[in-house]
Structure 1
Amino acid sequence: MNSSEKAPLTPVLTKRWLSPQSWRLHTYEKLEGYTAVRKALSASPEQVVQMVKDAGLRGRGGAGFPSGVKWGFMPSDEAKPHYLVINADEGEPGTCKDIPLMMADPHALIEGCIIAAYAMRSHHCFIYIRGEALHPMRRLYAAVREAKQAGYLGHDILGSGFDLEMTVHAGAGAYICGEETALLDSLEGRRGQPRLKPPFPAASGLYAAPTTVNNVETIATVPSIINGGSEWFRAMGSEKSPGPKIYSVSGHVERPGQYEAPLGTTLRELLEMCGGMKDGVPLKFWTPGGSSTPLFTAEHLDVPLDFEGAAEAGSMLGTTAVQVFNETVSVPWAVMKWTQFYEHESCGKCTPCREGTFWLAQVLERMVDGRGSEEDIDTLLDVCDNIGGRSFCALGDAAVSPIQSGIKYFRDEFLALCESNRPEPAGAAESPESAQGSDSQAAQPVGAQA
């Protein structure tokens, strides 16, 4: 079936984005806003959790853990305060779905927070937003004020007897704070570094109390599940990965941007939505979920972009940050730039990540500068083996993914950068007399300017 025969996609998460003043309360209320919270508050917390479980909602922050199961880990007693924390620290290279969601439709996130907090018996919700995202932060502050003035936050919400306070907290722009336990440390006022697990946040999280950390898109999906029902939600996407998803498509495409589509959509279909490759230059490689996911090539155009499909093809769905690169881009150069990012963002807590990312960046920089050797490729893979699965958190695994997959699919490009494989420049076989006095020039690295 070609694209012209397919039924048009009906937006769920992005349906209000193009409405006039979509971020204002009056617009949200006109478009089914805050109707789901009324339904949820009329049910029991256990019924809300069960509905999310039945819908099969999985975390949209990268791991894909079933959200209803995660909510169910929270203890039913309230001996300690329960906290809901929203991870809005969007720092994965290529990922840009949560910031536009908070910009265009912040009340969807707030309504989802109210429902989730009620289901987990939490009376305080924290939204941890990336500090550089100043504009969406202001939108969120204003939306929280509107919601509180309208009676959707605060004491005795809608006469239900349920209380909820909401705090919007700005981080300081550290990539590591996207890791949930590092985020909790930062929220408590400490340096953002990952904690040892167990104990998991559901047992001992923020202020050593039971805590659930969820992604922005995950929580913003909840109101549509409450309104539409679990069977309606499961009608979209695949069996094990149901529902809609926002794909952040960037790079060498005609129309980069956010594209909502059911989970399981392929890159071929996304490229059709984007208008194809920019200027018609063919696709070379791409990431299905940001730079921390192993690369795909043009051979993977028809891989279903859901949690199972991406994993079976040798990568991860991640945050669905689809970065598209055409044939003009050097794979070693792109991998080097990503590795420099991970070196800079490593928190330094564990040796494999702190030392390993430094050495990976050093070797790649030397290779891209034209001063590499074939042994450097083995060194890169050896260092990757010593980081992957051995670092304190997933940042180490993220750092090695582009290197390992880049060498797997494009080893020839790495070999071409090695000194022994470079063709001799014209005039290299000159007489000893003509070569006299040229030692200082010969000592310059390849590509250096005189």
Structure 2
Amino acid sequence: MKIRVGLGSCGIASGGRKVMGVLKSRAKELGINIEIENTGCIGMCFYEPLVDIVTDEKTYTYGFVDDELAKRIIDEHIKGGNIIEDKIIYSTDNEADYEKKQYKIVLENCGIINPEKIEDYIEKNGYSAVEKVLKEMTPEKVVEVIKEAGLRGRGGAGFPTWFKWNAARKSKGDKKYMVCNADEGDPGAFMDRSVLEGDPHRLIEGMIIGAYAIGANEGIIYCRAEYPLAIERLELAMEQAREKNYLGNSILGTNFNFDLIIKKGAGAFVCGEETALIESLEGKRGMPRLKPPFPAQAGYFQYPTNINNVETLANVPWIFSNGAKAYSDIGSGKSVGTKVFALSGKIKNGGLVEIPMGMTLREVIFDIGGGIKNGKKFKAVQMGGPSGGCIPASLLDTPVTYEAINATGAIMGSGGMVVLDETTCMVDIAKFFLDFTCKESCGKCIYCRIGTKRMHEILVKITEGKGKMEDLDELESLAYSIKDASLCGLGQTAPNPVLTGLKYFREEYEAHIIDKRCPAKQCKDLLTYSINPDKCIGCTLCAKNCPTNTIDGSVKKVHSINQEGCIKCGNCLSVCKFDAVNVM
């Protein structure tokens, strides 16, 4: 028997380290000798902190573990042998609804193994794919297997992985480089981080296989510096892999040499684009290059370079361990395998999910994600990050495939899925994403640098009640010009939130312009707060909490709001216990 504590970033932020300390100290007090170790995120971030009791027969998972429950786990479950039934959220013979429809390939070890122990990874068949590839296969055969599997890039574009590997393999150069793009910059996205924190050896194994396929002896993991735990565990994993001869010279007794370094990125969103990433690796400002030549021909310091993201490479060991056909049999059409998503926003079960391609958005959001918080209505889901688009409720039965998602006007992206409810203003959310992309533009392309700024300014006007109907035509004109004239994917996709907003929620834009009204009651400049005389009992709470003293009324007398002095902060609404404050 052993105890596992979820210590991914989400678990640590929820108090997981303190829980582990309580478990260890209580076990020591009672003289109990039991292994207590950390693991990564299993995906159920909404239940953190999580604690597993692992026996030879079963695993029992406790959620929302605090100091008191941690002591009870030691006292009652470990020492007394009595399961605390009302605190169990999951067990191997009673699978949680959150898990039932998932199919885990990339995340199969996350939350199961100790990411800081290579022995745990090896015990789960880790590095067996590398051994098979290096001792039994040619580089050409490796590329062929990836082609047969149908693996497509999970960074957003869905480009065939085999094609990139093959192009780099055929390119001539004194050196070649295998690069992992771990610069996960989308707001609401944490898929790559969880893999790096929970199963770093899987990425390393995928990179070794890719490097062998293209003929690279050097590899670089480009990881954002905002992921200190991921970097720490990666560095430890690389050191362990060298000790076991999975990295270094003459790997596993073969004539193949390969080693890795980590390059910390400074958080520039544009460096998620592969040529801007290469510029950053070379010590330059991250700005995209013209293509061709493509990185496979002239990449890092003009040497042939292959770049894949974390999730793409994390699929590779599974494919070689289980076979190309086993992988291609999962999914739908040309979108095969699984896809990892970070569920966030107004959803009950926020966290990580991995689903077979082809599952509908409705199944992901309602069956796995548990639906919308606080009984609100589903309004839209933002896919593809700030460069993605909003898919409305009418398209909830859209299958999660590259082709179907693209057809809606959104993009798959790297896997962010931000759920929006009826309280979300679609103009305001578009303004938020345009603010992000215009600030993150590297400035190289005029349309991206200035066009996104002009679009943002128009959206600000509309949310302030100063918009005109011709502004909508201007937004569309700018959007298509920016898409056509931008060099890289940032500018080419930046207008998507606005275009999908105008396509599916045009009436909401028109309400802001024509009626000077925000239907979702979010745009402060368009709101009016008033007090309902039939409900106000004169408790004075609203007046006491008004920062500008613009609420008049005495005790047990109906209050009123002076509209000229009201700054629309919403304090009166939040403190009123009698539902007497109206917002229009």
Which TM-score applies when normalising by structure 1? 0.91
Match of 2:391 in 1: 296
Distance 1:411 1:239 in 2: 33
**Which residue identity does 1:227 align to in structure 2?**
S
1:131–1:171 CA contact under 8 A, matched in 2: yes
Distance 1:81 1:445 in 2: 66
Quote the offset at 1:237 in angstroms.
0.7
Please give the per-residue CA displacement for 1:129-179, whole angstroms capped at 9, x wherever unaligned: 012111111111111111111111011000011000201110100000000
Which segments of 5 or more consecutive residues in structure 1 lack a partner in the other structure?
Answer: 427-440
Distance 1:401 1:30 in 2: 45
1:288–1:305 CA contact under 8 A, matched in 2: no
Match of 1:24 in 2: 117
SS at match of 1:73: helix
Distance 1:418 1:8 in 2: 43
Match of 1:35 in 2: 128
Please give the per-residue CA displacement for 1:86-138, whole angstroms capped at 9, x wherever unaligned: 10000022322100010000000000000000011000011000121111111
Report whether the alignment pairs 1:150 with 2:244.
Answer: yes
Report whether the alignment pairs 1:373 with 2:464.
Answer: no
Alpha-carbon distance change, 203 to 447 in structure 1, aligned in 2, over 3 angstroms? same
Alpha-carbon distance change, 380 to 40 in structure 1, aligned in 2, over 3 angstroms? same
1:87–1:214 CA contact under 8 A, matched in 2: yes
Report whether the alignment pairs 1:399 with 2:480.
Answer: no
Distance 1:201 1:357 in 2: 27
Distance 1:380 1:443 in 2: 33
Indicate the structure (1 or 2) with the bigger Cα radius of gyration: 2
Report whether the alignment pairs 1:135 with 2:135.
Answer: no
Match of 1:438 in 2: none
Quote the offset at 1:444 in angstroms.
10
SS at match of 1:323: strand
Match of 1:49 in 2: 143
Distance 2:200 2:516 in 1: 55
Task: Indicate the structure whose relative CO is greater, using CA pairs within 8 Å and at least 6 residues apart.
Answer: 1
What is the aligned residue count?
433
1:86–1:128 CA contact under 8 A, matched in 2: yes
Which TM-score applies when normalising by structure 2? 0.71
1:339–1:360 CA contact under 8 A, matched in 2: yes
Moved more, 13-22 or 185-194: 13-22
Match of 2:253 in 1: 159
2:223–2:264 CA contact under 8 A, matched in 1: yes
2:101–2:355 CA contact under 8 A, matched in 1: no
**Which residue identity does 1:12 align to in structure 2?**
I
2:169–2:215 CA contact under 8 A, matched in 1: no
> Given the alignment, which residue of 249, 272, 286 partners 1:192?
286
Alpha-carbon distance change, 56 to 425 in structure 1, aligned in 2, over 3 angstroms? closer
Match of 2:435 in 1: 340
Please give the per-residue CA displacement for 1:408-440, whole angstroms capped at 9, x wherever unaligned: 1111211222266559989xxxxxxxxxxxxxx
Match of 1:433 in 2: none
Quote the offset at 1:243 in angstroms.
0.8
Structure with more of its chain in strand, by fraction: 2
Q: Map residues 100-111 of structure 1 onto 2, 5 A cutoff.
A: 100-111=194-205
Alpha-carbon distance change, 48 to 406 in structure 1, aligned in 2, over 3 angstroms? same
Distance 1:444 1:374 in 2: 30
SS at match of 2:130: helix
**Which residue identity does 1:14 align to in structure 2?**
L
Which segments of 5 or more consecutive residues in structure 2 lack a partner in the other structure?
Answer: 1-95, 518-525, 530-561, 571-584
Match of 1:327 in 2: 422
Report whether the alignment pairs 1:178 with 2:272.
Answer: yes
Please give the per-residue CA displacement for 1:280-326, whole angstroms capped at 9, x wherever unaligned: 21110112332312221001111111112212334322223111100
Match of 1:65 in 2: 159
Alpha-carbon distance change, 424 to 100 in structure 1, aligned in 2, over 3 angstroms? closer
**Which residue identity does 1:370 align to in structure 2?**
G
**Which residue identity does 2:434 align to in structure 1?**
T
Match of 1:261 in 2: 355
Match of 2:209 in 1: 115
Match of 1:273 in 2: 368
> Given the alignment, which residue of 218, 237, 261 partners 2:331?
237
Moved more, 413-422 or 243-252: 413-422
Alpha-carbon distance change, 28 to 75 in structure 1, aligned in 2, over 3 angstroms? closer
Please give the per-residue CA displacement for 1:49-93, whole angstroms capped at 9, x wherever unaligned: 100000000000000011011111124465421111110000022
Alpha-carbon distance change, 322 to 77 in structure 1, aligned in 2, over 3 angstroms? closer
Match of 1:429 in 2: none
Distance 2:241 2:229 in 1: 18
Moved more, 254-263 or 267-276: 267-276
1:289–1:321 CA contact under 8 A, matched in 2: yes
Match of 1:349 in 2: 444
2:383–2:413 CA contact under 8 A, matched in 1: yes
Moved more, 69-78 or 40-49: 69-78
